[in-house]
Amino acid sequence: MGVFEYAPAPESRAVVDLKPSYGLFIGGEFVDPADGGSFKSVNPASEEVLAEVAEAGAADVDRAVRAARKAYDRVWGPMPGRDRAKYLYRIARIVQERGRELAVLESLDNGKPIRESRDVDIPLVAAHFFYYAGWADKLTHAGYGPDPRPLGVAGQVIPWNFPLLMLAWKIAPALAAGNTVVLKPAETTPLSALLFAEICQQADLPPGVVNIVTGAGETGRALVEHDGVDKVAFTGSTQVGKQIARSVAGTRKKVTLELGGKAANIVFDDAPVDQAVEGIVNGIFFNQGHVCCAGSRLLVQESAYDEVLESLKRRMARLRVGDPLDKNTDIGAINSAEQLDRIRTLSDIGAEEGAQRWSPPCELPDRGFWFAPTIFTGVTQAHRIAREEIFGPVLSVLTFRTPAEAVEKANNTPYGLSAGIWTEKGSRILWMADRLRAGVVWANTFNKFDPTSPFGGYKESGYGREGGRHGLEAYLDV
């Protein structure tokens, strides 16, 4: 790196007290699964086993849904909104109080840099509960009629990229609206959800209001297809999202899906170039690129191409890849061997299809799953790496000449989750924002999230919104 070597500054993992094994959280208690199955959750930065976790089968899911139904019928449904609010506020506070523990655990189980889990994920988790807590006793003012009713039991399936934050996005609005939930965390990152179960206990949340069933795809399928579920909320791949949309056909289940993306990050020649480069870096390398709204297609105006690329490469050379628990790490570990394979495969295809691959020199650790930050130049809309979601730290660089061409290329995808615009010209931002078919448009910024701000996609990026007043709609009978 040069003369100013930052000595390792590791966050202590002693703050996390992991049990060797975890059961399912059903009816307010940790219970063993019916058939005793389990799987291991590993630290992707070291491949060390962190804990053994129960695998829920159909019978366990059924038990969890029944517990949720009972809690809905007897406790949570009839409970006045102001009391539900207080439970949610309690949870928000406990998340803040145990923030460091949650951040370290999240980085251990997911591989994301502690700087992000500490400064982004966990504060947003608390903020999300705090925000929706305030809605619980104000639903009649939310614009969904004079007496909006909850749906009942929500079956929720979340991904591994922001384990606890996705849990918050699902559970906070569901509970605020008066539903009870059965949530399945991703099989590679179940631990923070299990710690959240302990937080529910600590908050004295009535048993059965939140149930956590751990497992893989089959567990998720059993949950979303369960007859006792009134609402299905899923965040994950478009492929699974389509399966879910098919599986609920002909039922009365309400569904929201937050799926994949292939966002264009559009840089004009009058952009604030240093901030644009930061936005490009943040857009694709934040959370190792494991972000559905990642700015994975950089569209640069041809007249600014050389300047932007040179700045981008210089900036990328400063990225620090390594130990997620080191406070100075910018890019942590890829979440799993499987995901690493996918990133490698698609990157190799990019090179085979003739795009030029570049990564800054960087040493990757021997153990664990790692992928150097990578850009591909000379990419066209016809390249697979410009069309398929890679979900890794890999950026495809394309060019355009006019605003209309930028819009056309940006929209030329089955996805429509997010987009970025970088220009100092205000009227052009508004013109572009009107035409981009994406649920979130970041202008002169990127990858910003807030509990008050609705998030979700157009087209094959899914439907429904999470966050804000809009996020309540998914959990109300309207």
CB of 76 or CB of 415, closer to another protein? 415
Name the DSSP class of 222.
Answer: H
CA–CA separation, 80 vs 464, rounded Å? Answer: 26
CB of 391 or CB of 463, closer to another protein? 463
Comparing CA positions, the residue from 100, 115, 107, 95 lying closest to residue 50 is: 107
Give me the least distance between CB of 401 and another protein, in Å please. 19
CB of 4 or CB of 361, closer to another protein? 4
Give me the least distance between CB of 115 and another protein, in Å please. 6
CA–CA separation, 355 vs 396, rounded Å? Answer: 9
How many C-beta atoms surround the C-beta of residue 425 within 10 A?
14
The site for another protein (CB under 8 A) is made up of: 2-9, 115, 119, 127, 143, 145, 238, 241-243, 245-246, 248-250, 252, 257, 259, 270-275, 278-279, 306-307, 310, 318, 327-328, 414, 424, 429, 433, 438-445, 448, 450, 452-456, 458-460, 462-463, 465, 468-470, 473, 478
CB of 60 or CB of 460, closer to another protein? 460
How many C-beta atoms surround the C-beta of residue 159 within 10 A?
22
Give me the least distance between CB of 247 and another protein, in Å please. 9
Give me the least distance between CB of 380 and another protein, in Å please. 22
CB of 88 or CB of 271, closer to another protein? 271
Name the DSSP class of 333.
Answer: -
CA–CA separation, 104 vs 108, rounded Å? Answer: 6
Q: Do 226 and 155 contact (CB within 8 A), yes or no?
A: yes
Name the DSSP class of 303.
Answer: G
Residue 221 to residues 182, 213, 248, Cα–Cα distance (Å): 13, 12, 11
Give me the least distance between CB of 223 and another protein, in Å please. 18
Give me the least distance between CB of 364 and another protein, in Å please. 20
Q: Do 141 and 219 contact (CB within 8 A), yes or no?
A: no
Q: Reading across the β-sheet that carries 48-54, which strands appear in turn?
A: 21-22, 48-54, 38-43
In this structure, which amino acid lies at residue 461?
Answer: S
CA–CA separation, 77 vs 180, rounded Å? Answer: 8
Whether 258 sits among the annotated catalytic residues: the reply is yes
From the candidates 11, 106, 116, 258, which is the catalytic residue?
258
Give me the least distance between CB of 456 and another protein, in Å please. 7
CB of 4 or CB of 20, closer to another protein? 4
Provide the residue count of the chain. Answer: 478
How many C-beta atoms surround the C-beta of residue 262 within 10 A?
27
CA–CA separation, 213 vs 450, rounded Å? Answer: 27
CB of 209 or CB of 438, closer to another protein? 438
Catalytic residues: 258
